Amino acid sequence: NNSRLREKSIVLIGFMGVGKTTIGEMVAKKLYRDFIDIDQEIEKEYNMATSEIFQNIGEKAFREKEKNVISAFSKQSLKIISVGGGAFLQEEIRKVCLEHCIVIYLDLSWESWKERISLIIDSRPVLQGRSIEEIEELFYSRKPIYSLHNSKVETDNLEACEVADYIVDSLK
Ligand code: S3P
C-alpha cells in the first residue's frame, strides 16, 4: 500500500563519481530523512579511507563489510542510502536492496563521466593503475548490473540539485 511505499528507504546506485553522495545528501535534506553513505560507514568502522582499506585489508574484506552494512541499513525505513559503485555486483546486495528499498539508478554517459576523471581517480582504488581504455571497459561492463533498478535518472547536463529535485518530485 501507499504509506508502506512512502516509508521505504531509497538506495542510489551508479558508477563511481556520478554524484550518488552529493545527490543523496540533497534528497535527504529535502525529504527530512537521514542520509547514509555506505562507503563512509565502512570507513568509520575501519577508521581508514577506502583506498587504505583496499591496500591494507583487501578488497575481499571490503566487499564482505559492504554486504553486511548494506543488508543492515536497507532493512531500515525512511533512509536515503548511497551505495558504492561496485555494490550491485553482489547478488545478495541487489536482492536485499530491491526487496526492501526503492532503487534509483543515476546514469551518466561515458563522455560526461570522462570529463570528471581527475576529480574521481585519487580516492578510487578500483580505477588506479588502469588505462583510460580499461576504465571505459569497466564503465560499460558495469552497466547491465545497474539496469536492475526501480527507476533511472539520466543525469547528463543536469546539476546535482536538479537531479535531487527530479527524484523528490518522482516520489510524489
Ligand atoms: C567502488 C566504488 C566506490 C567504493 C570503492 C569501490 C567500485 O564507491 O565503494 O572504491 O567498485 O565501484 P563510489 O561509487 O561511491 O565511488
- 109 is a domain residue: yes
Domain CATH for 110? 3.40.50.300
Decide if the complex's ipTM is over 0.95.
yes
Separation of alpha carbons 133 and 148, rounded Å: 25
Is the CB of 23 inside a 6 Å radius of any atom of ligand 1?
A: no
Q: What is the pLDDT of residues 157-169, one digit of tens each?
A: 999 999 999 999 9
Q: Which is it for strands 10-13 and 102-107: parallel, antiparallel or unpaired?
A: parallel
* 21 annotated ligand-binding residue: yes
- Return the residue whose CA atom lies nearest to atom 10 of ligand 1: 124
Residue 152 pairs in a beta bridge with 105
Residue 78 near residue 9 (C-beta atoms within 8 A):
yes
- 67 is a domain residue: yes
- 43 is a domain residue: yes
136: which 3 cell numbers?
A: 571505459
Q: What is the mean pLDDT of the chain?
A: 96
Count CB-CB contacts under 10 A for residue 137.
Answer: 12
Q: Say whether pLDDT at 2 is over 80.
A: no
Residue 127 near residue 17 (C-beta atoms within 8 A):
no
If you search the block for the grid coordinates 581527475, which residue do you land on?
Answer: 118
**Which one of 12, 124, 155 would you pick to mutate in the ligand 1 pocket, going by the greatest count of ligand atoms within 8 A of its CB?**
124
Query: What is the 56 CA–ligand 1 centroid distance (Å)?
Result: 16
Q: What's the mean pLDDT in 18-46?
A: 98
Q: What is the pLDDT of residues 66-124, one digit of tens each?
A: 999 999 999 999 999 999 999 999 999 999 999 999 999 999 999 999 999 999 999 99
- 172 is a domain residue: no
Count CB-CB contacts under 10 A for residue 41.
Answer: 16
- Return the residue whose CA atom lies nearest to atom 9 of ligand 1: 84
Domain count, the chain: 1
- 17 is a domain residue: yes
Q: Say whether pLDDT at 1 is over 60.
A: no
Give me the domain span that covers residue 27: 2-167
Is the CB of 85 inside a 6 Å radius of any atom of ligand 1?
A: yes
If you search the block for the grid coordinates 542510489, which residue do you land on?
Answer: 12
